[in-house]
Amino acid sequence: VRLLNLLIDMYAKCSSIESAVAVFQSIERPSRHSWNCLLVAYIRCRCLAEAKATFDHGMPQRCVISWNAMLSAYATAGRVGSAGELFGKMPATSIASWNAMLSGSVHNGYCFDRARAAFFDRAPERNTVGCSILVAAYAARGDLRSARCVFDRMPEWDIVSSTAMVQAYAGAGRLEQATKEFQAMPQRNLVSWNALVAVHAHHGDTAAARAAFHRMPCHDVLSWSTLVLACARGGGGDARLVFDAMPQRDVVSWTGMMQALAEAEAMDEARAAFCRMPQHSTVAANVAMQSYVRRGELGDAVRLFQAMPERSPVTWNAMVSGYGQAGLMDQARATFDATPSRDTVSWNALATAYYQCGRLGMVEATFSRMPSRG
RNA sequence: CGACUCCGAUGACUCGUC
């Protein structure tokens, strides 16, 4: 039975829900553990409805782990309200429950301080997981001071918390501190190494990115793709060499390669890369569109925009600012009005477009119409 | 008495800020 439980878990990690369910059904007397494995399998494979059915009336008994699994399912789906409701009904909680709530609420735009107070400060206990969630969240918000404050108070550190701290330093532009923290880490793994390469890539330091890449003991697609991006950004023209040397490529590497070509003004090759990509993605189309905008070829950008099967919020925002840069304020405004879900970037883009078109009065008007902050 | 199942860190695109 234990082996079969393990099998369910393995299939779930491969998103092969049918196989996972089949293994579960082959167990004649499933244990509580088996039921949890099945529940987690549904969650991992994004079958929320089945997970809920299993949780509500499938499993003979539920333990904290089952509750936590459902909590995190809702939280990662962005349904913090449902998660909170469930949290309130729990007969007993564990640290993982509090951490799941913390993670869900800091990632889904609720008031950060309230989330922290409710699920971290007021939690019965805290561990490295909860602290890492906070450090990472502060890093993402660019709040180095608060990240450090949490990090420095931790009783002990692990790879995850240290990697988050490396990101926090790098995000604040403190490259020396970031590398120092990296060297001070208790251990390193693939993720922390990848993070370091990404830090250098983001900073435009191709040489450092490459050096880190060659020092790491092993690589995955993500490491390689990050290096391609570093080359694309640094403009060294070596992106192609890296790309060709990759053992396997994914959407990101293809997109990075295309971007490198576009930035090197090799538009024909960039176009060819776009067409040869095995999978198309909205991001790749956005990158292509943006290349046109940067070259002042707005007609091509618009054509691409109209032809895109899917548009993300980024697509809409990029189009608004593309029109703005071209001085086509009416089109910028029309695109903004047509944007399905406006975010802070949309509003800033609109204000900037007005500014670029010399309509200073409208800049002010836009700011006063903005829903909130930014 | 342990082990297994639940929570945290890594890559691409848009405005502004540094």
Show the tokens assigned to A43.
């969650």
**DSSP3 helix / strand / coil % (chain A, rounded to 5):** 75, 0, 25
Task: Output the pLDDT for position A111.
Answer: 87
pLDDT band at A132 (very low <50, low <70, confident <90, very high): very high
Show the tokens assigned to A144.
């180095």
A64 touches strand B (CB under 7 A): yes
A54 touches strand B (CB under 7 A): no
A351 touches strand B (CB under 7 A): yes
CA A153 to centroid of chain Cα atoms = 27
A189 touches strand B (CB under 7 A): yes
What is the predicted ipTM? 0.88
Q: Which long-range contacts (CB under 8 A, 24 or more apart) does A247-253 make?
A: A248/A221, A249/A221, A249/A224, A249/A225, A249/A278, A250/A221, A250/A225, A251/A277, A251/A279, A251/A281, A251/A283, A251/A284, A252/A221, A252/A222, A252/A225, A252/A228, A253/A221, A253/A224, A253/A225, A253/A228
Distance A5 CA to B4 C1' (A): 8
Show the tokens assigned to A125.
């206990």
A69 touches strand B (CB under 7 A): yes
A2-30 pLDDT per residue, tens: 788 888 888 888 888 999 999 999 999 99
Using a 7 Å CB cutoff, list residues 291-310 of A near strand B: none
pLDDT band at A373 (very low <50, low <70, confident <90, very high): low
Task: Output the pLDDT for position A92.
Answer: 94
Using a 7 Å CB cutoff, list residues 96-125 of A near strand B: 96-97, 99-100, 102-103
Residue with tokens 């950008």: A301
Separation of alpha carbons A108 and A133, rounded Å: 13
Reported pTM = 0.91
